[in-house]
Amino acid sequence: MRQPSESSVNATIWDSTTFYRTPNLKNNPLKRPRSCQNKECQNGDRISNLPDPIIQHILSFLPADDAIKTCILSKRWDSVWTLVPNLIFRRECSCSQEAESFAVFVDKALMHYCSPKVKKFLVEFEFTECLKAQVDSWVEFAVRLKVEELCLEFHREIVDDPDYYYLPNFLYSNIPAEKLSLRFCALSPDKLKQVSWMSLKVLSISYIYASNEMIKNIFLGCLLLEHLKLSQCYGFDQINTNFSSSLKDLVVDGSWGLEDKFGDFVITIKGPSLLSLTLTGYMRRANYMLLDVSSLVEANIGYRMKSCSHGCRSNWYSAHRSMLHDLLEKLQHVEKLTIGTWCLQVLSISEVKGMSSPTSACKYLTLNKKINKWDLPGIASLLQSSPNLQKLTINLMPSNNFEFELDRSFYKYYNFDGEEYWRLYNQRIFKCLVLHLKSVEIVGFDTSCSSLKLVVDQSVQFLLKNAKVLEKMIIHAQRDAVNRTWMSVEAQELMELLELTRAFLSYPRASPNAKVMLESCFK
């Protein structure tokens, strides 16, 4: 690829950001691919000979500053970036001066952008009040170009910093966006009373004050809304989707609580038309109560509750165990159920104390936790309470949820090893293992972790020995081999993996049709 000449590229340096100024493209909005007989193709530069729409699609996955830098490659590239469908402006700013420099860069980039329409417009940096007018102009620019996905995702070093970005008044009118993502922004309660987002289908708001009335007005002003995510928001204690007949997917990722209330409170969720519900993140002083979720098909219970002092931990466990039990009762009818780290450990403690899980109609169960022997009672409880279970997925990848803080008094119940525990359960009948369980998938099995290796091995033995209609068991094994490729993995490690495979294949199987597959990946 030839080097750019001074006539083909003009460059202007602003602070630490390089911005490339391109010629006027009004009379030449779209270049045609050159013939493969040119020098660039003969030298092996086939990318430059791709049609512009394909190159622009590739560049749309890059941040704007990286996409713009491609204009120095050759004259062929000097204007390609100006027609990319996605504009991604993202910068880590450690001071106001860097934020101002970034704002200048965005202004200049938008001046040279030539596409009549933008598919995705994302701005992510640490907002300061002095830049509001510029950000407003960026948002207006995106709306004018009929943006489909608008993301205003600002950073904050201090969560309580009042320097939020207040949405401009015109953004409450009927904007063309189908997807809207807001983080550390401020919504106007008065403006939301007349909000009209008639095209909006997906809304995600994070670290934003949203009262019950504001959420209601969002529902009333978004007649096509299908997906709503509230992440670490505060100011509400109820979500009533009766005001939105279109909403199918609700995600509540943590909560700060109510601004004007102290102590614990309950977030009630009423969603008779919801198909999917996700409760994750860290709950500060809040509990959940489900009033009507009769249409739910899928539920993800992966939240983590607050900690407490040692003196009240027993009462604390009882209260949250009761809440989790009530949630699972309300979710008895769902077909797909996902249980996270904290909740699985609560179920384990309940099981060893003689309190089983509510019966569930779940057919597809996913456990998101790097399991150890303390989790086996919880797994057994879920298998026992899910007689229709057809597929079990255990995701062993590390989770963001912290584990339940076990009280010392609970350890007396945990005086067992994994093999002994499953041996005792061989005497019990699991209806799902006898009648329905056909597929087991274990993801993220780190063979270099000896404790995890032991628990997985014992669990695999138990499932193979008792699942009478099992058709396949897939184990995705991995080993942390930093800076090493498959060819450089030591022979000893490969031998260990081979021995593990032989062990899995040698275990007795209750189902004559069961196939065991181990897929390995070194990272």
Q: What is the pLDDT of residues 355-404, one digit of tens each?
A: 889 999 999 999 998 888 888 889 999 999 999 999 999 998 765 445 55
Residue 143's pLDDT is 95
Residue 4's pLDDT is 38
* CA-to-CA dists, residue 85 to 117, 118, 323, angstroms: 7, 5, 47
pLDDT at residue 310 greater than cutoff 70: no
Q: Decide: 155 and 90 in contact? Cβ < 8 Å.
A: no
Integer-rounded Cα Rg, in Å, for the chain is 28
DSSP state for residue 344 in the 8-state scheme: H
Give CA–CA dist 318/320, Å, rounded: 6
Give the pairing type, strands 227-234 and 249-257: parallel
pLDDT at residue 224 greater than cutoff 80: yes
Q: Decide: 207 and 282 in contact? Cβ < 8 Å.
A: no
Q: What is the dihedral of CA 319, 324, 329, 332, to 10 degrees?
A: -170
pLDDT at residue 319 greater than cutoff 80: no
Nearest residue to 362 (alpha-carbon basis) of 328, 326, 388, 344: 388
Q: Which pair of tokens denotes residue 449?
A: 């972790």
Mind listing the pLDDT tens digit for each residue in 441-493?
999 888 777 778 888 888 999 999 999 999 999 998 876 554 455 445 566 66
Q: How far is CA 398 from the centre of its chain?
A: 14
User: Looking at residues 207-219, what average pLDDT do you find?
Assistant: 95
Rounded to two decimals, what is the model's pTM? 0.83
Cβ of 114: how many Cβ atoms within 10 Å?
A: 16
Give the pairing type, strands 336-339 and 391-395: unpaired
Q: Decide: 90 and 125 in contact? Cβ < 8 Å.
A: yes
Q: What confidence category does residue 519 fall into, taking pLDDT thresholds of 50, 70 and 90?
A: confident
Q: Decide: 372 and 402 in contact? Cβ < 8 Å.
A: no
Give CA–CA dist 104/119, Å, rounded: 22
Q: What confidence category does residue 253 fall into, taking pLDDT thresholds of 50, 70 and 90?
A: very high
Phi–psi pair at 521, nearest 5 degrees = -150, 125
Nearest residue to 302 (alpha-carbon basis) of 401, 391, 442, 371: 401
Q: Which pair of tokens denotes residue 470?
A: 């099992």
